[in-house]
Structure 1
Amino acid sequence: MVAILGYSSRQISDAVQGMYSAVADTPDSPFHFPVGGSACRALGYPEEQLVDLPPPLLASFAGVGYPFRARAIHYGDRVLDLGAGAGNDSLIAGRLVGPDGRVIALDLTAAMTRKLKITAAGTDNLSVVQGSAERLPLPDASVDSITSNGALNLVPDKRRAVAEMFRVLKPGGRLQLADVVIHRPVSVDCHEDPRLWVECVVGATVREELLALFAEAGFEEIEVVGSHDYFALSPSAQTREVAASFGAHAIEVGMRRGESAPSRLRQWARRLDPRRWLLLLRRRGLLGIAALCLALLSCYGTLALVGLLPLLGIGLALDEGAWALAIAAFVLLTLTMLAAGSRRHHAVGPTLLATAGSATILYALFVDYHASVELAGFVLLAAAALWDLRQRRRQEARVLGLS
C-alpha cells in the first residue's frame, strides 16, 4: 500500500514529522490533541510512574492511552518502544526491565529522538534510534517485548508495520499498544490536506480490522484491556466533531507472538471471511449498494440463467412466486439500508426516491407486470442508492473540513 486516500507515503511522513517536531520543540503551543503531564494523568498513568520523568520530556508526551495496562514488559526484557516520541514510555519501560534489560526507543521524528538523547543522556539501559515502523532496523527475533503508544494510526502501511513487529519479536514475545481506532472508515478523498493525517482519525483503522491484522500476522491471545474516549480530551472542537463522526476512540491491547507466522493460505482465508466483508460494507455505508446488486442479480441474473440453460440442454423449473418474493426481499432490504443512511446525512431525498422505486418494482411484481415498469423501478432505486452514497461522502467531507 503506497498511498491511502490520495496521500503518498512521503506526504504522510512529512506531515507527521512536521507536527511532532513542533510537539518536541514547542510543547506549550496549542495542538488539536492533548499533550504533557496532564494528558498522562487523564489517560491513566499512575503518579508514581510520572514523578521522576524529566519535565522537558513529560511536557512533550503525546500518547493516546496507557499501554502498560497490558503488562507485557517483564524484568530483564529487551524492549522496543515503537514510536517512542519524547521517550516517556521508554523511561518507564527502562525501570520495569531493570539494569539487566534494555529499551530501544525508536521514532520517525528527528526532533523527538534528538530531545530524548539529550535529556536522557546517561540512562544506561536506553538506546535511541531514528527509524520507520515499516522498516525496523533490528534483527529477526531480537526483542522480548514491544510497547507502542499512538504510533500505528500514523503509519501508512499498517500491514507491513505489524509484520515487522512480528519479525523482530522472539517467538512467545509480548506486545502492548495503545492506539486510535474508528467505528467507520474514512472513505472520502482527503488528498487536499495531508495534514489531516495528524488528526489521528484519517489514518486510523476500524477496530475489528486492526485486531484482525495482528491475528493474520500470527499474534495470539489478543485482548483489548482498555477503551476510552481519547478525543474528549482534545482542546479542538473540530477534532472532537471529526472523532465523533467516525466513532474514533483509543484502545489498549495486549497480545503474544505465535511460534510462527500463519501460511499464506490461512492469511487469505482470514481476509476473505464473508463476515469481515459484511462488516466492512456496513461500516462504509455500502450495504444499500450491495442489497441493490443482489436485487438486480436475483431479477435479471435469474432471467438470463433461465434463458441460457436450455441452450446447454439443462432444464430449469422456476417457481415464479418464490422468484418474485426473493426479488422483493432484496428490494425492501435496499430501501431499509438507504433509509438508515438518512439518519447520518439528514437528507430525505434518497429515501423518498428509493420508496418510489421500490413501490414501482413491487407493483410490477405483484399487481400488473410490465418489464418496462420493473426496469424503471430499478433505475429509480439505483439513482437513490447513488444519491445516498454521494450524501454520505459529502457529510464526511464537511466534517473533515474539505470542500
Structure 2
Amino acid sequence: MSENAESGTPVSERDPDETRRLVRERYADIASSSGDESCCSDVGGDGSGEGGDRGGDESCCSDSSAGTGSEQLGYAEEDLEAVAEGADLGLGCGNPKAFADMSPGETVLDLGSGAGFDCFLAAREVGDDGRVVGVDMTPEMVSKARENVSKNDASNVEFRLGEISHLPVADETVDVVISNCVVNLAPEKRQVFAEAYRALRPGGRLAISDVVQTAPFPEEVRMDPDSLTACVAGASTVDALEATLDDVGFEAVEIEPKSESTEFIREWDAERDLSEYLVSATIEARKPAVRE
C-alpha cells in the first residue's frame, strides 16, 4: 500500500479537494514527463511508479505484445497517423470517437482532454465548420495541449483550464460531450454529469469511455490514493451510473461493459488482476429535445 494511504477512510470517500489535488499532481507529472510515464503505476504497490514503465503511445500499463496500447483501446492505425506526436499519452480506456457519431459542423466538448488526442480526432470529424473544446484541470496538460494545436494545424480546437465539475462552458452550446477514462477520477460525479447536461443543447448527447466497477475492491485498493489516481478506486458501478444519469435528466441511457478490455486492464497492476473488479465501458445518454 502507498505510504500516502490514510487509515480508516476509503479514497473514494475522502475530501473532494484533496482528491482533486492528488489527481492534479499525478497528471501534472505525466504531462511534464512528455508521456514517459504510464498513468497506472503499480496500483496497491509502494507508490513509486515502478511497474508503470510503459508510456508514449501505449495505454495504461498495456501489453505491447498485443499491439500499441491505443490500438488495444479501439483506435485504428489511421487515427494514430492522423495526429501529430505528443498528443497521445496513452491515458484512456476506450475510444469515444468510435461511437460518438460526430458530424460536420457540430460542437464537441471533451471532459479531461489531457494533451488533446481525442480532441484532434474529433476536429477531423466535425470539420472546419465545427468546433472542439477541451477542458482539463491540470495547467501542465492544458499547456501541452495548446502546444499541440499548431502541430496538428487544428484551428477549430481550443483548450480551457477548468474542472469538469465546474465547466468553463456556456449553457446549451455543445452538441456532443466526450471523455476518456476521466469521470472516474472526479469525486463529485453527479455534478460532472449535471454540468455536461447544462452545456449540451437540447437533443445533445453524451459519449464517454470509462471504467466501471464489477465487484468490490480489495481493502488495500480501496484505501490507497494511488489506486484512485490510477483510474481504479474511483470507478462506479453500472447501476450507480445509470441512476445518476437518470437523476440528472438524461434519457436513452446505455452503458455497455466491454469484455475485451480485460486484456489490457489485467496489465494495470503487477500484483493483482484488476479485471476481476473493473472493466471498461461505453456510456451513452441524450439530453431530451425541446418539446413543441
Please give the TM-score of this superposition, normalised by the length of structure 1: 0.58
Is 1:10 equivalent to 2:4 in the alignment?
Answer: no
Q: Name 1:144's counterpart in structure 2.
A: 175
CA contact (8 A) 2:108 2:132 kept: yes
1:172 and 1:63, CA in 2 relative to 1: closer, same or farther beyond 3 A? same
- Distance (Å, rounded) in 2 between the aligned partners of 1:201 and 1:149: 14
Is 1:257 equivalent to 2:265 in the alignment?
Answer: no
**1:189, CA displacement in angstroms?**
9.2
- Distance (Å, rounded) in 1 between the aligned partners of 2:194 and 2:262: 28
**1:148, CA displacement in angstroms?**
0.6
- Distance (Å, rounded) in 1 between the aligned partners of 2:118 and 2:15: 30
CA contact (8 A) 2:94 2:180 kept: yes
**1:213, CA displacement in angstroms?**
1.3
Q: Name 2:255's counterpart in structure 1.
A: 224
- The match for 1:200 among 231, 234, 238 is 231
The alignment of Structure 1 onto Structure 2 pairs a total of residues equal to: 254
Q: Which has the higher contact order (CA 8 A, sep 6+)?
A: 2
Alignment of structure 1 residues 118-267 onto 2, 5 Å: 118-121=147-150, 122-186=153-217, 193-224=224-255, 227-228=258-259, 230=261, 232-233=263-264, 234-238=267-271, 240-241=272-273, 243-245=274-276, 247-259=277-289
- Name the amino acid aligned to 1:170: R
- Name the amino acid aligned to 2:18: Q
- Name the amino acid aligned to 1:48: E
1:35 and 1:212, CA in 2 relative to 1: closer, same or farther beyond 3 A? farther
Bigger Cα displacement from structure 2, 83-92 vs 206-215: 206-215
**1:258, CA displacement in angstroms?**
1.4
Mark the runs of 5 or more structure 1 residues left unpaired by the alignment.
261-403
Secondary structure at the counterpart of residue 82 of structure 2: coil
CA contact (8 A) 1:86 1:115 kept: yes
1:80 and 1:21, CA in 2 relative to 1: closer, same or farther beyond 3 A? same
1:208 and 1:69, CA in 2 relative to 1: closer, same or farther beyond 3 A? farther
- Distance (Å, rounded) in 1 between the aligned partners of 2:225 and 2:162: 21
Is 1:78 equivalent to 2:107 in the alignment?
Answer: yes
- Distance (Å, rounded) in 1 between the aligned partners of 2:87 and 2:140: 12
Structure 1 residue ranges, 4+ long, deviating more than 6 angstroms after superposition: none
Mark the runs of 5 or more structure 2 residues left unpaired by the alignment.
1-9, 42-53, 58-67
Please give the TM-score of this superposition, normalised by the length of structure 2: 0.79
CA contact (8 A) 1:181 1:204 kept: yes
Secondary structure at the counterpart of residue 208 of structure 1: helix
> Is the radius of gyration larger for structure 1 or structure 2?
1
- Distance (Å, rounded) in 1 between the aligned partners of 2:269 and 2:70: 18
Is 1:29 equivalent to 2:37 in the alignment?
Answer: yes
Aligned-CA RMSD value: 2.4
**1:229, CA displacement in angstroms?**
5.0
**1:217, CA displacement in angstroms?**
1.4
Secondary structure at the counterpart of residue 102 of structure 2: coil
**1:120, CA displacement in angstroms?**
1.5
CA contact (8 A) 2:12 2:187 kept: no
1:208 and 1:35, CA in 2 relative to 1: closer, same or farther beyond 3 A? farther
Q: Using the aligned pairs only, state the percent identity.
A: 31
Secondary structure at the counterpart of residue 86 of structure 2: helix
Q: Name 2:97's counterpart in structure 1.
A: 68
- Distance (Å, rounded) in 2 between the aligned partners of 1:256 and 1:5: 27
What are the Cα deviations for residues 279-326 of structure 1, in whole angstroms up to 9, with x where unaligned? xxxxxxxxxxxxxxxxxxxxxxxxxxxxxxxxxxxxxxxxxxxxxxxx
What are the Cα deviations for residues 12-36 of structure 1, in whole angstroms up to 9, with x where unaligned? 1121112212222222235526644
- Distance (Å, rounded) in 2 between the aligned partners of 1:166 and 1:206: 20
- Distance (Å, rounded) in 1 between the aligned partners of 2:257 and 2:214: 16
CA contact (8 A) 1:73 1:174 kept: no
1:167 and 1:62, CA in 2 relative to 1: closer, same or farther beyond 3 A? same
- Distance (Å, rounded) in 2 between the aligned partners of 1:133 and 1:185: 26
What are the Cα deviations for residues 367-386 of structure 1, in whole angstroms up to 9, with x where unaligned? xxxxxxxxxxxxxxxxxxxx
Alignment of structure 1 residues 283-302 onto 2, 5 Å: none
- Distance (Å, rounded) in 2 between the aligned partners of 1:102 and 1:67: 16
**1:56, CA displacement in angstroms?**
1.4
